[in-house]
Structure 1
Amino acid sequence: MTPILSVRDIKVHFPVTGGLLMRQVGSVRAVDGVSFDIAPGETLGLVGESGCGKSTLGKAIVRLNDVNNGSIHFDGRDITRLGRGAMRPVRGDLQMIFQDPVESLNARHSVREILEEPLIIHGHGSANERRKRVDELLERVGLQSAAADRYPFEFSGGQRQRIGIARAIALKPKLIVCDEPVSALDVSVQSQVLNLLLELQKDLGLSYLFIAHNLAVVKHISDRVAVMYLGKIVEMADADSIYQRPKHAYTKALLSAIPEPDPSLEKERILLEGDVPSPIDPPKGSAFGHRIKHPRYEETVGADLSLREIESGHWVAADPCCLEAEDWAKVSGALSLKAGAS
C-alpha cells in the first residue's frame, strides 16, 4: 500500500545567536534525522518527553516549520520546500489540531467565522452552502448548531477542542497531525475527545499522526507507535509490540510510568538518572547512554545508531547502551550481515 505520508531523514535545526553582532554560534537540533511512513487510514502515535522534538516535527510536516534536510512526501507529492502559494491547495488535505484550544481559536471571532474561514479561503460553496456546512460540522463533533453564534471563551476546554477538530475536518482532509490534542483537557473529557477522533477516522477514512507524551493515551488510539528521544526515533513498532515487548531502555522507562489502575498489583517503576542532554550540544554517541552513564557509551561515539528491524515490523536503534544482551546480539548480527553483503 502506498503511504499517504512518507518522511525521510527530516532535520529541523534552529539557529542560536550570540555576541555583539548576534552571529550564529550554534544550533538547536530539535529534529535530527527522522524517517517513517503513515498508511491511508492508519494512526501513528508519536511519544516522548517534553522537549524531545515531537511538536516541532508535527509542525514541519504541515510546513509551519522549515526543514533543513530530508524530504516530506504527502499523497505522492514532494512538499518539502513548496512556497506558501504552492502549499495552499495541499492544505485542504493536510490539517492540524493544536494542543491548546484556547490559543488556537481566535477569541474575537465567532465559532461560525472560525469554521467558515477555511471554506472561504479555499473557495468552497456559496454563503448559504457554507452556513449549512458549519452547522453540519458542529453537529458532527457533538455540538449544537446554535453554538455557531457564540465565541470560544463561552465554551469549556473540551468543547473548544471539538471546535478545533471541526475546523480541521472542514475541508475533508486525508491526514491530520494531532499535536497533543487532549493533554490540556480534564481526564474525564480526554476519552470523549479520543473516541470522537476514532469515530471521525472510521467515517471519513482519516489518517493521523497522533503526538502525545502519555503512553496510556496513545495506546487507546494508535495502530503503530514511534518513541522519540532528543530529536530521534529510537523505537517503532505496532502498538501491541511496543506495550508487550518493548526493546529500548527509554521505551521501557516510559511504559513503567503508566499508572496501574489496580492498586493490588505491584509495578516496578524505572527511575531515570541524569538529565536530558541539551539539543544544542548533543552527545557524540548514544544520547540515552550518555544520560544514564552507561559503561558502553564510548563504543557508540561515531557509531551508526540508526533503526534496525529486530523483529518483523519492529524497529529499534542499534544502541548497545539501550538493549538487553539478547536483543543487541540480534541487532549487531544484522549489522554484521549487512556489512558483509556490502
Structure 2
Amino acid sequence: MLTVKDLVKYFPVTGGVFKRKVADVHAVDGVSFSVGRGETLGLVGESGCGKSTLGRTIAALYDATSGSVRFDGTDLTYFSEKEMKPYRRRIQMIFQDPFESLNSRHSVGEIIEEPLVIHGIGDGPARRKRVGELLSTVGLPQTAANRFPHEFSGGQRQRIGIARAIASSPELLICDEPVSALDVSIQSQIINLLLDLQEEMGLTTLFIAHDLAVVRLISDHVAVMYLGKIVEQTDADTIYKTPLHPYTQALISAIPVPDPGAVSNRIILEGDVPSPIHPPSGCRFHTRCSHVMEICRATEPEFADQGDGHMVACHLYEGKS
C-alpha cells in the first residue's frame, strides 16, 4: 500500500541581510520502508528525530527534497496540488494537538463535514447524516455537531479529529503522535478506538510516537528513527524481545515495568541529540553510543537484514547477516 524509497526532506536555513541559504536542516535523510495493506507500522524515536516531518512529507503536506513516495503503486512524490487532490481523499492524517488542528471558529459538524464538501461526497442532508454517524462511531453524541471545539476535553477533541480523518473513508491513515498530548487514562481509549477503526475499515496505518509502550499495542511492525534516519526495523514482537541497535536497546530499557520490586536495567544515553543542521559523520548515533568504534565515526553503516527481515544499521552486526 505504501512504499517510501530514499526519502529526503531538508529545510533551508537562511542568514545575513539578504536572507541567503547558509545551511540545511537534515530533517529526513534517506528513509526507506514499506507498509502492507491493512498493516500498521509504528515509527518511534526521540523528539526532533524527524518522525513528524516524515509523516507530513508522505502526506504531501511538505514537498520532498528527493526520493519517492508510492501509494497503491502510484508515485505521488512530485504531484501538483490538482493531481494530488483525488489521493487526499484516500490519505488522511490525525495530528498531535487536537486543539490546534481544529478550527475554533467552526462547529464540530462543520469541521467533520469539510472533507465531504471538499471531495464532493453527498449532498447537504447526506453529509449531515454522515456527520452524525461519524460522531457515533468515535463515541460522541450526535448533538456534539452543534458545539465548538473549546467546549470539549482533550480526549473528546481528538475523537473529533479522528472523525474528520475517517470522514472520506481513507485507505491510509497517518497518526502523528495522536495520544501524546492526552492523559494516560484517555490514551488507552483512543488506542482502542483506532484499533477498532482499523479492523472495521481495513485501514493501513503509519503510527508515529515516541512512547514504545504505546506503539507495541497497535503496531504489526516497528521502525526506530534517529536524527533523520531509520536505524532498525522489524516486527513488533521481535523488536521488543531482541532489539539489536544500541539506540533501540536504550529506548526499550526506558519502558516502565509495573513491578516496584523489579531490578532496573535502564540504559542511560549521555548527551543530547546532535543538531540536524550539522549531523555527525559516519553513524549518526556514534556520539552517544557506548559501543562506538573508529569505523563508526568515519563510515555510515549499511541498513542490512540480520535474518527474518530484521533490518538494522550498525557496524556491530556487519558480516553477521
Question: Could you tell me the TM-score, scaled by structure 1's length?
Answer: 0.92
Ranges in structure 1 where 5+ consecutive residues have no aligned partner: 335-342
- Corresponding residue of 2:117: 120
Q: Can you list the C-alpha shifts for 1:268-304, whole angstroms capped at 9, x where unaligned?
A: 11101122111101111111112337551x3135534
- Corresponding residue of 2:311: 315
State the SS of the aligned residue for 1:290.
Answer: coil
Q: In the alignment, is the contact (CA less than 8 A) between 2:283 and 2:298 conserved in 1? A: no
- Corresponding residue of 2:287: 290
Q: Relative to structure 1, is the Cα distance of residues 239 and 293 closer, same or farther in structure 2, using a 3 angstrom cutoff?
A: closer
Q: How does 1:200-219 map onto structure 2 within 5 Å?
A: 200-219=197-216
Q: How does 1:250-261 map onto structure 2 within 5 Å?
A: 250-261=247-258
Give percent identity, aligned residues only. Answer: 61
Within 2, Cα distance between the matches of 1:8 and 1:302? 24
State the SS of the aligned residue for 2:6.
Answer: strand
Q: Relative to structure 1, is the Cα distance of residues 303 and 295 closer, same or farther in structure 2, using a 3 angstrom cutoff?
A: closer
Within 1, Cα distance between the matches of 2:203 and 2:66? 28
Larger mean Cα displacement after TM superposition, 233-242 or 277-286 = 277-286
State the SS of the aligned residue for 1:104.
Answer: coil
Q: In the alignment, is the contact (CA less than 8 A) between 2:247 and 2:289 conserved in 1? A: no
Within 2, Cα distance between the matches of 1:287 and 1:36? 19
Q: How does 1:10-159 map onto structure 2 within 5 Å?
A: 10-159=7-156
Within 2, Cα distance between the matches of 1:304 and 1:292? 14
Within 2, Cα distance between the matches of 1:175 and 1:273? 37
Q: Relative to structure 1, is the Cα distance of residues 9 and 150 closer, same or farther in structure 2, using a 3 angstrom cutoff?
A: same
Within 2, Cα distance between the matches of 1:295 and 1:205? 43
Given residue 69 of structure 1, which amino acid in structure 2 is its aligned partner?
S
- Corresponding residue of 1:173: 170
Larger mean Cα displacement after TM superposition, 276-285 or 92-101 = 276-285
State the SS of the aligned residue for 1:211.
Answer: strand
State the SS of the aligned residue for 1:208.
Answer: strand
Q: Can you list the C-alpha shifts for 1:57-102, whole angstroms capped at 9, x where unaligned?
A: 0000000111011000001111001111111110010000000000
- Corresponding residue of 1:233: 230
Tell me how far 1:19 sits from its aligned partner: 1.6
1:332 counterpart = 2:290 = no
Q: In the alignment, is the contact (CA less than 8 A) between 1:277 and 1:291 conserved in 2? A: no
Q: In the alignment, is the contact (CA less than 8 A) between 2:283 and 2:300 conserved in 1? A: no
State the SS of the aligned residue for 2:33.
Answer: strand
Say which of 194, 218, 221 aligns to 2:218. 221
Moved over 4 A (4+): none
- Corresponding residue of 1:339: none
Count of residue pairs the alignment pairs up:
321
Within 1, Cα distance between the matches of 2:272 and 2:290? 11
Tell me how far 1:265 sits from its aligned partner: 1.4
Given residue 303 of structure 2, which amino acid in structure 1 is its aligned partner?
L
Tell me how far 1:107 sits from its aligned partner: 0.4
- Corresponding residue of 2:299: 303
Within 2, Cα distance between the matches of 1:40 and 1:166? 21
State the SS of the aligned residue for 2:195.
Answer: helix
Q: Can you list the C-alpha shifts for 1:78-131, whole angstroms capped at 9, x where unaligned?
A: 100111111111001000000000000000000110011110111111100001
State the SS of the aligned residue for 2:26.
Answer: strand
Q: In the alignment, is the contact (CA less than 8 A) between 2:286 and 2:297 conserved in 1? A: no
Given residue 143 of structure 1, which amino acid in structure 2 is its aligned partner?
L
Within 1, Cα distance between the matches of 2:292 and 2:239? 26
Within 2, Cα distance between the matches of 1:56 and 1:304? 22
Q: In the alignment, is the contact (CA less than 8 A) between 2:281 and 2:300 conserved in 1? A: no
Question: Could you tell me the TM-score, scaled by structure 2's length?
Answer: 0.98
Tell me how far 1:267 sits from its aligned partner: 2.2
Within 2, Cα distance between the matches of 1:175 and 1:306? 29
Within 2, Cα distance between the matches of 1:281 and 1:264? 43
Q: Can you list the C-alpha shifts for 1:298-331, whole angstroms capped at 9, x where unaligned?
A: 31355342310002021000x22xx4xxxx2xx3
Within 2, Cα distance between the matches of 1:111 and 1:11? 36
Q: In the alignment, is the contact (CA less than 8 A) between 1:105 and 1:164 conserved in 2? A: yes
State the SS of the aligned residue for 1:311.
Answer: coil
Within 2, Cα distance between the matches of 1:36 and 1:295? 26
